[in-house]
Amino acid sequence: MSNHGPKYQLYDQFAQVAKALSHPHKLELLELLAQRERSVEALAKVAGLTVANTSRHLQQLRRAGLVASRKEGLYVFYQVADDDVIDLLRSLRRTGQRHIAEVNEVVVGYFIDRDSLEPISRKELMQRSKDGLVTILDVRPSEEYDVGHIPGAINIPLEEIGQHLASLPKDQDVIAYCRGEYCVLAFEAVATLRKKGFSARRLEEGYPEWKAAGLPVEGIES
């Protein structure tokens, strides 16, 4: 049997997708694009990469069908191809944590040490929000919040939390979320709030997963 029949050809294409994900910078760029469309230059600035390296990574992701692009004047803008990409990233994270010891060591050593409490689930958050029992806090940058956010969430970027403590209630839980399950912003926000006497917890995942699950959103995307 030929190694180059239709089954082999399919697996070869699937392998191209896997290859496109085989760099931490590419995964970070996808996480950033899951929040909103961005130009190459904006992505490079947020990710701390050169424009040339960012562009190269994005072109490889585009060839694999993971991102889409458009040109506006002198600038090229990228966005994730669809919600399947977000689901793929979520599955990759979960598989890595369950089956690779080093991943679990990082999760326990960095993230769990900062927040050992069980995060709140999407289902629980929806019910408690409906009952008026929580304050939902989006700690992403304001431009990401404006594009889309969980209904009822207020936006206080992480670096501004100290300036807005008086606007947060101490008589109910504050639920913080950001870009994804391992987004440092939410962990740091919860730690800061607890030190100031607030009852704070994290959402189990972030805005992209919320949106990909078909749950209601507010903002430009709604």
- State whether 77 and 120 are in the same domain: no
Alpha helices, H only, 76-182: 83-99, 101-106, 113-114, 122-130, 142-147
CB atoms within 10 A of CB 160: 11
Which of 81, 100, 130 is the endpoint of a domain? Answer: 81
Assigned domain for 195 exists: yes
Which of 28, 60, 81 is the endpoint of a domain? Answer: 81
Assigned domain for 91 exists: no
Long-range contacts of 10-19, Cβ-Cβ distance < 8 Å, separation of 24 or more? 16/63, 16/64, 17/64, 17/65, 17/66, 19/64
- State whether 73 and 123 are in the same domain: no
Asked whether residue 13 carries a pLDDT value surpassing 50, the answer given is yes
Asked whether residue 1 carries a pLDDT value surpassing 50, the answer given is no
Counted domains in the chain: 2
Catalytic residue numbers, as ranges:
178
Assigned domain for 96 exists: no
Look up the CATH number of the domain holding residue 189: 3.40.250.10
- State whether 122 and 70 are in the same domain: no
Q: First CA to last CA across the chain, in angstroms?
A: 51
pLDDT, one tens digit per residue, over 45-99 is 999 999 999 999 999 999 999 999 999 999 999 999 999 999 999 999 889 988 8
Return the percentage of the chain with pLDDT > 90, whole number.
82
Look up the CATH number of the domain holding residue 25: 1.10.10.10
Asked whether residue 192 carries a pLDDT value surpassing 80, the answer given is yes
Higher pLDDT, 78 or 112: 78
Domain that holds residue 45: 6-81
Asked whether residue 113 carries a pLDDT value surpassing 70, the answer given is no
Say how far apart CA 44 and CA 90 lie, in whole Å.
Answer: 23
- State whether 129 and 71 are in the same domain: no
Residues 26/61, Cβ–Cβ less than 8 Å: yes
Please state the rounded mean pLDDT for residues 171-189.
92
Q: Three-state DSSP class for 135? A: strand
Residues 122/175, Cβ–Cβ less than 8 Å: no
- State whether 19 and 68 are in the same domain: yes
Say how far apart CA 112 and CA 152 lie, in whole Å.
Answer: 27
Residues 206/36, Cβ–Cβ less than 8 Å: no
When pLDDT is cut at 50, 70 and 90, the band that residue 221 belongs to is: confident
Assigned domain for 122 exists: yes
Rounded to the nearest 10 degrees, the angle between the axes of helix 51-63 and helix 40-47 is 110
When pLDDT is cut at 50, 70 and 90, the band that residue 182 belongs to is: confident
Residues 6+ apart with CB under 8 A from 20: 26, 60, 61, 63, 64, 66
pLDDT, one tens digit per residue, over 15-33 is 999 999 999 999 999 999 9
The mean pLDDT value of the chain amounts to: 92
- State whether 127 and 72 are in the same domain: no
- State whether 208 and 134 are in the same domain: yes
- State whether 52 and 137 are in the same domain: no
Which of 31, 59, 81 is the endpoint of a domain? Answer: 81
Say how far apart CA 98 and CA 113 lie, in whole Å.
Answer: 18
Assigned domain for 45 exists: yes
Assigned domain for 221 exists: no
Give the model's pLDDT for residue 105.
83
Give the model's pLDDT for residue 222.
66
- State whether 203 and 122 are in the same domain: yes
Assigned domain for 99 exists: no
Assigned domain for 101 exists: no
- State whether 71 and 124 are in the same domain: no
- State whether 73 and 121 are in the same domain: no
pLDDT, one tens digit per residue, over 193-211 is 999 999 999 999 999 999 9
Residues 6+ apart with CB under 8 A from 176: 137, 138, 139, 186, 189, 190, 193, 200, 201, 202, 203
CB atoms within 10 A of CB 5: 9
pLDDT, one tens digit per residue, over 114-165 is 666 678 999 999 999 999 999 999 999 999 999 999 999 999 999 999 999 9
